[in-house]
Amino acid sequence: MRRPKPRQSLTRKKRRLQEAEEIELLDSWIEAMKPASGTNPLAVTPPPPSAPAGRLPGAGGGFSPYAGCKLFSQLPISRRTKDGLARKYTEMSEIQRASLPHSLCGRDILGAAKTGSGKTLAFIIPVIEKLYKARWGPEDGVGSIIISPTKELAGQLFEELKTVGKYHTLSAGLLVGGRKDVDAEKQRVNTLNILVCTPGRLLQHMDETPNFDCSQLQVLVLDEADRILDHGFREQVDAIISQIPRVRQTLLFSATQTKSVKDLARVSLKDPEYISVHAESVTATPERLKQLAMIVPLEQKLNMLWSFIRRHLKSKILVFLSSCKQVKFVYEAFKKLRPGIPLKCLHGRMKHDVRMAIYLEFCQSTSVLFSTDVASRGLDFPAVDWVVQVDCPEDIPTYIHRVGRTARFTSDGRSVLFLTPSEKEMLKKLQSAEPKIPILSREPRKEKLEQISARLSSLLVQYPEMQQLAKRAFVTYLKSVHLQKDKEVFDVTKLPLEEFAASLGLAITPKIRFINQKKKGQKVLVEAVHEQEDGIDDSYKVANRKPQSSVKLNEEPEEDDILLPKKTIIDEEGNRDAEPGTRVLKKKKLKINVHRPVGTRLKYDEEGNIMPPLAAAIAGPESGNAVLRTDKVKERYEKLRQEMKEKDKEDKILNRQRLREKRKEKQMKLKRRRGEEEEEAADSEDGRSELDEAENGAAKRSKIRFVSDDEEEEKGNNKKDFGLCSDLVSIAEQEALALKLLGSMHS
């Protein structure tokens, strides 16, 4: 039996007419009642929930106010969006109430609100509304780009977009790094209206997809904006910004918002609204979050973690460690020790589909998830009871984002931070932060600690691969401490190396590359031979070392160093060679004919024909002979380089123009065809409902849908060199704009 369909009797033409009427009404409503720039909608007394929304009855023809309202149904947004929202949401959160009245009338937003406060809807709704009101169709191409720092977060945003946009006919795609079938993605990317992506993947399309065009872009969103704008993504983001139109709406959101003038200038915000709903709040973290800190000696951390897990077997626990190697070791070791609760692990070196599967599993089950900071931002795991930070976060924003994985929206949550005695300074920093972070210091109850070092030692004997994992965990932890910027908190010289190694079950303290351990009586001189980083001392002493630390152990192979750049071999299928160090590479001896005159070496082209000598080519005809002169060569190279650059620039401009024209022509054609089809459809009363069309797959315009589901690692840094667009204003102008903005924020 056919289900009753809403709007069954509507023809497409009628529907489009209704849409046009709705859009006209929304535009007039927004225009008539928009809040003054710089005002805070939260300060407006909200209308009662029963108050009429939209055009008010009576001769005046006025509209209901929407700034200050509390319900989504009172906002000037389309019926389709309201229907999508109604599936899950009724009342707005503070950040939504404060930002939507401004963003719906097209203003740029710099939004800050605590973790778990609902920032996602605050940008998804204006994105959908803007494109709906512009009657965006497949032929119009990319209308909005939402950028997220991680693949999991991008996936989560995409899911939310699908929920809210369920009744719209816009198309959307998830573009995240390392996808194998990138070619298929390239075919489709231009038909998508909303792209949810990571910076690397977006840039890859901008660079490689021949007809990729975002010249019509309407809205740019940066979620976790401070992270996207920090140095980790600097090159990629600058390259992206240089390739999108300056006239657009820009929405930046984060729990720890950037206030750097330079950062804001880079995204060219136009008179943005600075919305910081919790700026006056007493705390920087959610009110329902209870936070503890404990001073735990490094060698007791695993005992403490194990004991903690054993005492919370019915809780969902998220554990943060500082490196992939530690995550791997702790996960594998604890799994073998069987604590009595399911364990999972998540880190950036896992394949994307595995990461996504683990993310989804952890959403659904009570278990312990060991993770690096890949899970620290944005991820909305439901009902996490505890966040345990075994390793100290690098700074206060990282702390705030990590603990923000619990106590989300209206839920309660608890967190505990383990600090080594030498990291006490972090506790002071957290306690004196503004706004406050209400963190209590607690003494660990030593008598309750379960000691697992002996069990770990026997595990390491039983499973040789565990030995390697333990050593790598040891080294990467020390390296992570060594490379931290905040030297007031992180001091590798104060760490008890042998006790730490023993706590991982290691019988002998591994010798590590960047610290040279030498015997000196009962004391061991530890010397940082690694190049000076951030002012770490060159040599220092650690008291009361046992002599065993001087025993030469297998040095850690290069690939252990996840914190330093690693040489990676990538095969033709894009797979990384995980063990470059295991290859035996013999250097071939080159024979040099010392008697051959310089510059007379023969070169061959691909077909085996002799090419003119390189020297002659470089030195040019004016040189008279083939002898290479370095200054001439340099000059010639420079000239060639310049010429190539110019040529490349011209080619790019021409190509873009050509593509744009082609695209416009195509768009016009498609639009004309669509109009004709609709006329025809309207004439022959087809009576099919919208739902029928969707079910039969007959709708001309595709629904919001997934594009990406099989990913590899996000390529952290794209090395492509993109020139800045000529239509960009100068950095000075942008900085002036940003200064103006900051001035207005404080006034």
Q: Does residue 286 belong to the site contacting ligand ATP (CB under 6 A)?
A: no
Q: Which of residues 412-441 bind ligand ATP (CB under 6 A)?
A: none
β 219-223/249-254 pair status: parallel
Q: Is the peptide bond before 547 cis (omega within 30 degrees of 0)?
A: no
DSSP helix/strand/coil, 223: strand
For residue 193, give the nearest of 213, 210, 209 by alpha carbon.
213
Q: Does residue 256 belong to the site contacting ligand ATP (CB under 6 A)?
A: no
Least distance in Å: CB of 162 to ligand ATP?
13
Q: Does residue 201 belong to the site contacting ligand ATP (CB under 6 A)?
A: no
Span of 119-127, 541-549, 658-666, 688-696 interacting with ligand ATP by CB under 6 A: 119-127
Chosen residue from 35, 111, 116, 149 binding ligand ATP by CB under 6 A: 116
Least distance in Å: CB of 404 to ligand ATP?
5
Alpha helices, H only, 423-562: 424-431, 453-462, 464-483, 497-503
Q: Does residue 255 belong to the site contacting ligand ATP (CB under 6 A)?
A: yes
Q: Which of residues 364-393 bind ligand ATP (CB under 6 A)?
A: 378, 380
Chosen residue from 74, 78, 93, 549 binding ligand ATP by CB under 6 A: 93
Question: Cα angle at 673 between 672 and 675, to 5 degrees?
Answer: 65
β-partners of residue 146 are 196, 221
Chosen residue from 119, 168, 301, 414 binding ligand ATP by CB under 6 A: 119
The residue (of 124 and 419) whose beta carbon lies closer to ligand ATP is: 124
Span of 84-92, 353-361, 664-672, 729-737 interacting with ligand ATP by CB under 6 A: 84-92
Least distance in Å: CB of 494 to ligand ATP?
33
Least distance in Å: CB of 255 to ligand ATP?
4
Span of 109-117, 281-289, 587-595, 726-734 interacting with ligand ATP by CB under 6 A: 109-117
Alpha helices, H only, 539-629: 614-619
Are 392 and 487 within 8 A, CB to CB?
A: no
Are 408 and 380 within 8 A, CB to CB?
A: yes
The alpha carbons of the chain give a radius of gyration, in whole angstroms, of 30
Q: Does residue 120 belong to the site contacting ligand ATP (CB under 6 A)?
A: yes
Locate 457 and state its tokens. Answer: 């030692």
Site map (CB under 6 A) of ligand ATP, residues 322-361, x = contact: ----------------------------------------
Least distance in Å: CB of 379 to ligand ATP?
7
Q: Does residue 111 belong to the site contacting ligand ATP (CB under 6 A)?
A: no
Span of 108-116, 203-211, 311-319, 609-617 interacting with ligand ATP by CB under 6 A: 108-116
Q: Does residue 115 belong to the site contacting ligand ATP (CB under 6 A)?
A: yes
**Running DSSP on this structure, what letter comes out for residue 230?**
S
Are 450 and 301 within 8 A, CB to CB?
A: no
Q: State how far the Cα of 646 lies from the Cα of 27, in Å rounded to an integer.
A: 46
Q: Does residue 89 belong to the site contacting ligand ATP (CB under 6 A)?
A: yes
The residue (of 212 and 362) whose beta carbon lies closer to ligand ATP is: 362
β 219-223/144-147 pair status: parallel
Q: Which of residues 294-323 bind ligand ATP (CB under 6 A)?
A: none
Chosen residue from 92, 170, 293, 430 binding ligand ATP by CB under 6 A: 92
Chosen residue from 181, 365, 409, 620 binding ligand ATP by CB under 6 A: 409
Q: State how far the Cα of 168 lies from the Cα of 132, in Å rounded to an integer.
A: 8
**Residue carrying the six token digits 């420079």:** 638
By CB neighbour count within 10 A (0-12 exposed, 13-18 middle, 19+ buried), where does 35 fall? buried
Q: How many other CB atoms are there within 10 angstroms of residue 482's CB atom?
A: 21
The residue (of 164 and 619) whose beta carbon lies closer to ligand ATP is: 164
Span of 104-112, 114-122, 183-191, 391-399 interacting with ligand ATP by CB under 6 A: 114-122
Q: State how far the Cα of 565 lies from the Cα of 83, in Å rounded to an integer.
A: 49
Q: State how far the Cα of 268 lies from the Cα of 250, in Å rounded to an integer.
A: 8
Are 547 and 499 within 8 A, CB to CB?
A: no
Q: State how far the Cα of 370 lies from the Cα of 318, in Å rounded to an integer.
A: 6
Chosen residue from 74, 117, 376, 406 binding ligand ATP by CB under 6 A: 117
Span of 177-185, 386-394, 402-410, 582-590 interacting with ligand ATP by CB under 6 A: 402-410
The residue (of 138 and 413) whose beta carbon lies closer to ligand ATP is: 413
The residue (of 84 and 297) whose beta carbon lies closer to ligand ATP is: 84
The residue (of 381 and 514) whose beta carbon lies closer to ligand ATP is: 381
Which value, to the nearest 10 degrees, does the dihedral of the CA atoms of residues 667, 669, 674, 677 take? -170
For residue 376, give the nearest of 327, 411, 445, 448 by alpha carbon.
327
How many residues make contact with ligand ATP (CB under 6 A)?
19
Q: Contact residues for ligand ATP (CB under 6 A)?
A: 89, 91-93, 96, 113, 115-121, 255, 378, 380, 404, 408-409
